[in-house]
Amino acid sequence: MKLSQESEAVVRATSGAVAAHADEITTLFYRQMFAAHPELLRVFNRANQAIGEQPKALAASIVAFAVHLIDPDAPDFSPIMRRIAHKHVSLGVRARQYTVVERHLLAAVGAVLGDAVTPEVRSAWEEVYWLFGCALIAEESRLYALGEPIQNTRGERTVWWSGSRRQKTSSPSSSRPCPDPSLLIGPDSTWRSR
């Protein structure tokens, strides 16, 4: 997993600003995403939302992932990635939901950072997001493919993954880290390709 040269330079230059405003960005992101997609409220622990833990966790993981991409001496991100993937699988997160998150997360970055988010900055952070998202989709697909029962963390149900519903992702050696995101959209989506 590697950022393009152009994006790496932009992320290096802007990561401090994104990190400094990460909590504000993710708080706005969740508020806007839940307003547009209230059905996603069931995926997130409402207590963690109420006390602000979920936005902080998302902010910390995105910043840590970006640092991982730009700093060769950064700690290994794999254990965090696996923990997030296990959590997502326990909640039944699906690959198509990543496009909804991307749209609202990047909109929140733009709203908080304003004019600092040029098309180049947006593109670089979109690349960070999709490297992160596609790595999670691949790991979640692997976990779902195991077909093992996973207890929902809220204890509401056990999620069984059916082999007929597996999400196909490209191999790690592929030049593209995961399928074209437009392939992950359901017919009810309003997301459009650029």
Residue 156 among the catalytic residues: no
Q: Assign 16 to helix, strand or coil.
A: helix
- Cβ atoms of residues 103 and 184 within 8 Å: no
Residue 129 among the catalytic residues: no
Residues 126 and 49: their CA atoms lie apart, in Å, by 24
The tens place of each residue's pLDDT in the chain, 194 residues long, gives: 799 999 999 999 999 999 999 999 999 999 999 999 998 888 877 777 778 888 888 888 998 999 999 999 999 999 999 999 999 998 889 899 999 999 999 999 999 999 999 999 999 999 999 999 999 999 999 999 887 555 444 444 444 443 333 333 333 333 334 544 444 433 333 333 33
Which position among 102, 127, 139, 140 bears the catalytic label? 140
- Cβ atoms of residues 154 and 130 within 8 Å: no
Q: Assign 151 to helix, strand or coil.
A: strand
Which position among 30, 98, 129, 144 bears the catalytic label? 98
Q: What is the pTM of this model?
A: 0.75
